[in-house]
Amino acid sequence: MQKQNLASVVSASGEIKPKTYANIGANAFGRIVKLHVKEGDRVQRGQLLAQLENVQSLADVNATRASVQAAETDAVAAEANLKTSLADLNRAKSDATHAKLDWDRAQGLYNAALIAKQDYDVKKAAWESAEAGLAQAEARVAQAKAQKDSADQHISQNRANLTRVADVLQKTTYEAPFDGVITNLPVREGETVVMGIQNSPGSTLMTIADMSVITAEVRVDETDIVNVHLGQPAEVTIDAIPHKIFHGVVSEIGDNAIVRSTGVATSQSTATSEEAKDFNVVVTLTDPPSDLRPGLSSTAKITTANRSNVLSIPIQALTVRTRGDLVPRDASKDKNKVEAATSAPTDASKQKEKEELQGVFVIRNKKAEFVQVDTGISGTTDIEVTKGLQDGDEVITGSYKVLRTLKPGTSVKIDNSAPKKEEESS
């Protein structure tokens, strides 16, 4: 064993994806009359991408806009009519007041026998006529107000219709939602696209991706996901760019497990599955090349832990033995004699003998001695030992079969030479 720096690494495969991308889907039924971009073009926010046939929707907008203007004209006329009716009402009020004063004077003069009955009747009729004119003027004012309100409602109704048909027209024109690159263009000019209805997806015109932030979306095995945390460094290799390593950091960790065989999240599955599961992990690249394309296969090696100058041993030196296997040969014979002379062993002692212990065999006095150890992080070929060994201890390494059958107290011949490679037969 020796002291060295160890790094625990989780490896996962996946594909390159932009952090932000959008599938531009059809918002209306129609024929594509013009495509302003092609696959691979760089576009800016608001740039025109595609145009659908819009003869009917444009005609609806023009007709509704004309209706709005006509309703506004009617509202102006209704406003003028209301003002005229108010003026007539004021004049009718003045006439009624004047007629009432004349009749009041006529009543006093008639009672004093200073005017004839005919003059009295004329004044009374004039007052009654003025009162009727006032009521008529008030009715015309109420009618003019109703017409004005109706005209205003017609304006609101036509403006709402204009908003609706303008939205329909706007959905025949497609603009870039952000700066990016056209990564997929499955349609061509002259094709007819449809909107999605119920469970039927609509037509996809194109996919635009923001290539300023590139990620590698990989799937990490469920046994390793507990060691993955946000901000951990990662090295990403891309199959299309061999012999080059890109660096990144973990930026997202999925919460839902995904069944490996189907790719469906367990939260979306009604049946319980015992199959292997993965979790989506997103690694944001810090140094992506400019010509990177979405969908390229990639592998991420995420460093989940680092240890400096720690005691470590080769992973193959670790073995698992039961407590009963660790009894030395001589002691085992003596124990059997004692047990034969006494009562049979209890269930507790049997259970204790079957207990499995993790440890290594160390060489002490040229004999193998089993030492139970506690381990920490694992590197590629070595594993950290946190308890049980000391610096300078010599551990026995070998094949799984040899270590599994090795008994404590076995004499060991030390051979630190490198194993010889088998020579190929000529």
Tens of each residue's pLDDT in the chain, 426 residues: 677 777 888 999 999 999 888 999 998 889 999 999 999 899 999 999 999 999 999 999 999 999 999 999 999 999 999 999 999 999 999 999 998 898 888 888 888 888 888 888 888 899 999 999 999 999 999 999 999 999 999 999 999 999 999 999 999 999 999 999 999 999 999 999 998 877 778 889 999 998 888 999 999 999 889 989 999 999 999 999 988 999 999 999 998 888 888 878 877 766 666 788 899 999 999 988 877 888 899 999 999 888 888 788 888 888 887 877 776 555 545 555 545 444 555 666 667 777 788 888 888 888 888 888 888 887 778 888 888 787 777 887 877 777 777 778 777 777 666 555 544 433
Please tell me whether residues 187 and 40 are part of one structural domain: yes
Please tell me whether residues 280 and 324 are part of one structural domain: no
Please tell me whether residues 100 and 235 are part of one structural domain: no
Contact present, 326 and 354 (Cβ < 8 Å):
no
Please tell me whether residues 68 and 166 are part of one structural domain: yes
| C-alpha 139 chain-centroid distance | 63
Please tell me whether residues 229 and 240 are part of one structural domain: yes
Please tell me whether residues 73 and 38 are part of one structural domain: no
Query: In whole angstroms, what is the distance from residue 67 CA to residue 73 CA?
Result: 10
Backbone angles phi, psi at 23, to 5 degrees: -90, 115
Contact present, 408 and 328 (Cβ < 8 Å):
yes
Q: What is the dihedral of CA 240, 245, 246, 249, to 10 degrees?
A: 120
Does residue 39 belong to any structural domain of this protein? yes
Last residue of a domain, one of 158, 193, 228: 193
> pTM of the prediction?
0.61
Does residue 14 belong to any structural domain of this protein? no
Please tell me whether residues 166 and 177 are part of one structural domain: no
Contact present, 253 and 331 (Cβ < 8 Å):
no
Domain residues for the domain of 67 are 56-170
Please tell me whether residues 141 and 181 are part of one structural domain: no
In this structure, what CATH number is given to the domain that contains residue 264?
Answer: 2.40.30.170
Does residue 162 belong to any structural domain of this protein? yes
Q: Which two tokens stand for residue 298?
A: 């990639």
Please tell me whether residues 95 and 229 are part of one structural domain: no
Query: In whole angstroms, what is the distance from residue 131 CA to residue 100 CA?
Result: 9
Q: How many domains does the chain have?
A: 4
Please tell me whether residues 32 and 124 are part of one structural domain: no
Does residue 340 belong to any structural domain of this protein? yes
Query: In whole angstroms, what is the distance from residue 374 CA to residue 5 CA?
Result: 18
In this structure, what CATH number is given to the domain that contains residue 176?
Answer: 2.40.50.100
Q: Which two tokens stand for residue 144?
A: 């003019």
Backbone angles phi, psi at 272, to 5 degrees: -80, 135
Query: In whole angstroms, what is the distance from residue 309 CA to residue 267 CA?
Result: 43
Last residue of a domain, one of 306, 327, 355: 306
